[in-house]
Amino acid sequence: MSLLFRTGIFNTFGLLPMERSMIQNIRALILVLVGFVSCNGPLDIASWEVEATSPLVYGRMNIADLLAVKEISSEGGVLQYRVQDTLVRLGVDTLIGIPDTTLVSEFMIPVGGVQWPAGVPFYSDTIRTTFNLDGAQLSFAEVRKALFSVSLKNNLKEQILVRYRILSATQNGDTFELEELVPGKSTFEGDFVLDGYNLDFRGLDGTRSNTLNAYVEAMIDPNFTGTYTFSAGESFEIQNTFKEIIPQYAQGYFGQQLTQYEDSVTIDLFKSLAFRSADILEYDVDITIDNGIGADLLFEIGGVSTYNSSSVVSLGHPILGEPQPIGRAIRTAGLASPVKHMQQHYSFTSSNSNLDELLEIRPNGIAYNMSLEINPLGDISLGNDFVRFGHDISASMDLTVPLKFGVEGLLLRDTFAMNVDTSDSEQIDRILGGVIRGKILNGYPFEATVQLLFLDSNGVVTDSLSDIRQTIQSAEANGFGMVINSVESEVVFPFDRDRVDAVLGATQAVVLARFDTYQSQIVELRDSYEIEFRFAADLNTTLP
Amino acid sequence: MRWILMLILTGMAWVSSAQRLDRSMWMGVERNAADLSIHLGAVGSGLTTSFASALLTQDFLEREAIQVQRDKLRTINSAGFDYRADVLGVAQLKDGWAVTAGVTDVAHASTEFSDDAFRLLFEGNAAYRGLELDLSSSSFQYLRYQKFSVGLMRNNLNSSMGFRLSLINGQQWINANAERAKLSTSDWGDTLGLDLIGQWQQSGLDEGYFGAQNGAGVGLNLFLSHDWVTEEGTWRALIDVRDLGWIQWFPGSQEYQVDTVVTFYGVEVNDFEGNAVGAGLGDSLDRAFLGWRNTGVINTWTPSWIQCSVKQERDKGFEFGLGATWRPFTVVKTYGWMLAGYQFNQKWYAGSEIGYGGFGRMQVAIEGMFHTRSVSARLRWANMEGLIFSDRLGGMMITAGIQYQFGS
């Protein structure tokens, strides 16, 4: 055979260097033979390069998703940022909080040998409980919820009968009454519900306020035969407590109360909405004072400002610093709405305020201070102030900013977790590089540039897939800033071997998008706008 | 996975001929004998020896080599690999009877694959965006087992016959076929579609060391030969049945029946919150496959040989012969051949063969034999065309045997 090779007979087929080729082929056969006979030792075979294409991710998103702010809603198809918050609320419990109040009375026989017939009171008294209501003078209340606790301690040898009547508490014309047999040398304790009772706080003569009267009698059990002989030192004690009184309705004079409020409302919108400059044209803030009590009010907004980490901008508006009188609510005969509230609205618009300046600093919150005075002129109702449960004094704010603006350098970023299995390092090492391609159908009327960043578990950027931001073209808009056609763009992020480890080892990826409206033209964001995207990868890798 | 790939490629790489049984030297032997024979061959069509050789001997396959090989493929290509090592003892009894005992190690791999499958494996799908790669009618089978056999043989004046019964230890088995498999990649690469009807069976994939006990079975070899003496010499007719057998693979064997259409668009991330990138096509396929998974006992037939041949035997001069080989339980086509040789004297013989079928097409082989009273040796080199025209054709097969005879 070697003679054949040497003579060049096979060279006519253009196969030389034949001997080398044949040796190589025979070597290959021997390799296979050894591989099988030795069983299972995997033969080392050559590797080769392949280019694989695979889809990566796809989906749709809109600005509302990206902002991840719950206050984004839609009104007439236009996205708007709306914050509704109650700044102040005063209810019946704050206006006339009735404290728990306890009275204790005791009767003791100073000398022994006194004989007393059964069934005849050996003790009777009127108990008067006066509540300290911090300036308020209540004359009447309907109880929504209240408890009356009583403790009857009988130190006599025989059982006694106690009659307890709260003269000031009536329900459908009946006075609250309690009869209880208390065995000798024992104590009775009980809680009784006063829900639904009317309480007359004027006392027995009708001239007092904040006062409840009760009448108590104690006697030897009428069923006891004969007479009872008291021993010296025998006693009887009564302890009563009114607690947890919540009126359904209260009437009287609520006093002259001045309260100052100073607080702030957080604005989340701008945490995820960063921009270099913005032109906000439309906004609307309503502050509403709602008086649901039968007392006059004097309301004053001392100041409103927005703030961020570096600056504060104050609001300008004619009502600031000017006390605003608000009339008292009116009782009505209607059961569905027994109180007619008095409301006062204060509107902050582009024509009467500089609120746009407050928003354009990308504030973290709104700070405010205000005061509220009840009965600024004193008891002009002659004790006929009233409050009904659920009808409060409140100050609320309704901030609405339609997302219509011109913006430059609006920066949105979102982070999503990555969980690529990199345990097979050999497989990772085979990746030589590739290209991630994105096809983006932009339905928003502004141009965007996007960048992908990859972060490690400490949040440190390990790599960026592209040093150059890729541009997404703006959708076509009409003269009113409304989109008439979405526009498709392609973005390309090539990466090489050096970037593979950094990218695949990342635990988070960040999409960084920068938006600009054309020459800061005012556009509106509608809920129908969205961005459709598809990403695919061309991977250059070796096998096996 | 790596060695499976190696097997596939090895099987694909060598295209060969002479895909038939060589006459075992123990058949009809009239003295006590110890016989060792090794058969190793890979055969097929489409792939060249150069490509296979490069795959096995180089560190890196250049793209040009892949493209050259790709252009030589037919729509459907086939390849196979057979390995057999046989150690046998023959002890003569009386009246022409003899007993045999032996140990055999057998491996068989065969595959059918489309040119698109080659493209996908060696080039990837990036170059085929907007197209559909048809991987249908692909199959792969690999079987490795050991046999422990005893047998009986009888010789008389003009004929001999014998059989060997075997206990089989199943070491490893893979059977895969794709009745329909089409992979489509969209123009832009944002959609992958897989339409697959197929089956995968395996046993001992994780424990494939030599002699691993993953199945058990029985096997049968038998032969029957008869000589006719004429003026032109002796004509010997031979029927040889080899490796007929059955293996039951132990519990734990796995079977997947898949009939699914998967379209993969990537991972949907409509809202970035709560999403994690990491799921992929693999997960979808895992779900599809696991839905059709069975585990348990699986029974298989062993790839077998049935061969009929007639050959002239002379003390000196030219000899001729022909025959046909049928391979039950394989994808191999029937192979037919003719041979011509020259018996130089009682010791030396040289011959050549041309055949058609099996895994390949036209194939050529040469062989030589040395024979004395005590020692017989045989070397056969088939698929010469694959070695000589290694850039155009492929294949290689070598059979070698040596026998020592002793006693009276």
What pLDDT band is residue B274 in, cutting at 50, 70 and 90?
very low
Task: Please give the C-alpha separations between residue B119 and each of A432, B56, B196, in angstroms, as whole numbers.
Answer: 20, 19, 18
pLDDT by residue (tens digit) across A108-127?
888 888 888 999 998 898 88
Task: Give contacts of B8 with chain A, Cβ < 8 Å.
Answer: none
Q: Is the pLDDT reported for residue A136 higher than 80?
A: yes
Residues A305 and A313: beta-carbon distance below 8 Å: yes
Judged by DSSP in three states, B209 sits in coil
What pLDDT is recorded for position A188?
Answer: 94
Residues A46 and B60: beta-carbon distance below 8 Å: yes
Average pLDDT score, chain A:
82
Higher pLDDT, A472 or B401: A472
Q: Is the pLDDT reported for residue B99 higher than 90?
A: yes
Q: Is the pLDDT reported for residue A445 higher than 60?
A: yes
What pLDDT band is residue A351 in, cutting at 50, 70 and 90?
confident
Q: Is the pLDDT reported for residue A464 higher than 70?
A: no
Total residues belonging to chain A: 544
Residues A457 and A425: beta-carbon distance below 8 Å: no
Cα-based angle A31, A32, A38 (whole degrees, multiple of 5): 90
Task: Please give the C-alpha separations between residue A539 and each of A503, A544, B125, in angstroms, as whole numbers.
Answer: 13, 14, 10
What pLDDT is recorded for position A48?
Answer: 92
Q: At what angle do helices B63-71 and B49-57 cross, to 10 degrees?
A: 150
Residues A201 and A208: beta-carbon distance below 8 Å: yes
Task: Give contacts of B265 with chain A, Cβ < 8 Å.
Answer: 55, 58, 534
A342's tokens: 């008095």
Chosen for mutation from B190, B209, B390, B392 (greatest number of chain A CBs closer than 10 Å) is B190
What pLDDT is recorded for position B288?
Answer: 53
| pTM across the whole model | 0.62
Task: Give contacts of A510 with chain B, Cβ < 8 Å.
Answer: none
Residues B53 and B12: beta-carbon distance below 8 Å: no
Would an 8 Å CB–CB cutoff place B273 in contact with chain A? yes
Q: Position of tokens 């609001």?
A: A315
B332's tokens: 């191999």
User: CA nearest B40 in A: which residue?
Assistant: A33
What pLDDT is recorded for position A20?
Answer: 47
What pLDDT is recorded for position A23?
Answer: 56
Q: Position of tokens 């989109």?
A: A483
The residues, any chain, with a CB within 8 Å of residue A30's CB and separated by 6 or more, are none
Name which of A101-105, A200-204, B158-162, B175-179 the model is least confident about: A101-105
The residues, any chain, with a CB within 8 Å of residue B372's CB and separated by 6 or more, are B347
The residues, any chain, with a CB within 8 Å of residue A188's CB and separated by 6 or more, are A150, A151, A152, A154, A162, A180, A182
Q: Is the pLDDT reported for residue B164 higher than 90?
A: yes
- The helix/strand count (H/E) of chain A reads as 7, 37
- Going along A254-283, which residue ranges are E strands? 257-266, 277-280
The single-letter DSSP state of residue A380 is T
Which residues are registered as beta bridge partners of B245? B219
What pLDDT is recorded for position A66?
Answer: 64
What pLDDT is recorded for position B301?
Answer: 93
What pLDDT is recorded for position A8?
Answer: 30
Query: Is B56 close to A32, i.e. CB distance below 8 A?
Result: yes
How far apart CA B301 and CA B122 sit, in angstroms, is 32
Task: Give contacts of A414 with chain B, Cβ < 8 Å.
Answer: 272-273
The residues, any chain, with a CB within 8 Å of residue A61's CB and separated by 6 or more, are A530, A531, A533, B270, B271, B272
What pLDDT is recorded for position A12?
Answer: 29
What pLDDT is recorded for position B343?
Answer: 92
Q: Is the pLDDT reported for residue A79 higher than 70?
A: yes
The residues, any chain, with a CB within 8 Å of residue A14's CB and separated by 6 or more, are none
Higher pLDDT, A251 or A348: A251
Higher pLDDT, B294 or A351: A351
How far apart CA B119 and CA A32 sit, in angstroms, is 24
Name which of A35-44, A385-394, B273-282 the model is least confident about: B273-282
Would an 8 Å CB–CB cutoff place B350 in contact with chain A? no
Total residues belonging to chain B: 408
Q: Is the pLDDT reported for residue A523 higher than 80?
A: no
What pLDDT is recorded for position A465?
Answer: 63
Query: Is B189 close to A538, i.e. CB distance below 8 A?
Result: yes
A227's tokens: 């007479």
The average pLDDT across A93-105 equals: 82
What pLDDT band is residue B292 in, cutting at 50, 70 and 90?
low
Q: State CA B56 to chain mean position distance.
A: 18
What pLDDT is recorded for position B111?
Answer: 86
Name which of A157-171, B145-159, B269-283 the model is least confident about: B269-283
How far apart CA B163 and CA B327 sit, in angstroms, is 19
ipTM of predicted assembly, 2 dp: 0.74
B165's tokens: 């019964």
Q: Is the pLDDT reported for residue A522 higher than 50?
A: yes
pLDDT by residue (tens digit) across A233-251?
899 999 989 888 899 999 9
User: CA nearest B263 in A: which residue?
Assistant: A55
What pLDDT band is residue A6 in, cutting at 50, 70 and 90?
very low
Query: Is B268 close to A58, i.e. CB distance below 8 A?
Result: yes
What pLDDT is recorded for position A467?
Answer: 61
User: CA nearest B188 in A: which residue?
Assistant: A536
What pLDDT is recorded for position A135?
Answer: 83
What pLDDT band is residue B287 in, cutting at 50, 70 and 90?
low
Would an 8 Å CB–CB cutoff place B348 in contact with chain A? no
Judged by DSSP in three states, A539 sits in strand
How far apart CA B35 and CA B153 sit, in angstroms, is 15
What pLDDT band is residue A276 in, cutting at 50, 70 and 90?
low
Higher pLDDT, A422 or A330: A330
Higher pLDDT, A191 or A423: A191
pLDDT by residue (tens digit) across A365-395?
889 899 989 999 999 999 999 999 989 999 8
Cα-based angle A191, A194, A197 (whole degrees, multiple of 5): 165
Task: Please give the C-alpha separations between residue B18 and each of A126, A231, B340, B396, in angstroms, as whole numbers.
Answer: 128, 133, 14, 10
How far apart CA B236 and CA B308 sit, in angstroms, is 11
How far apart CA B389 and CA B17 sit, in angstroms, is 14
What pLDDT band is residue A196 in, cutting at 50, 70 and 90?
very high
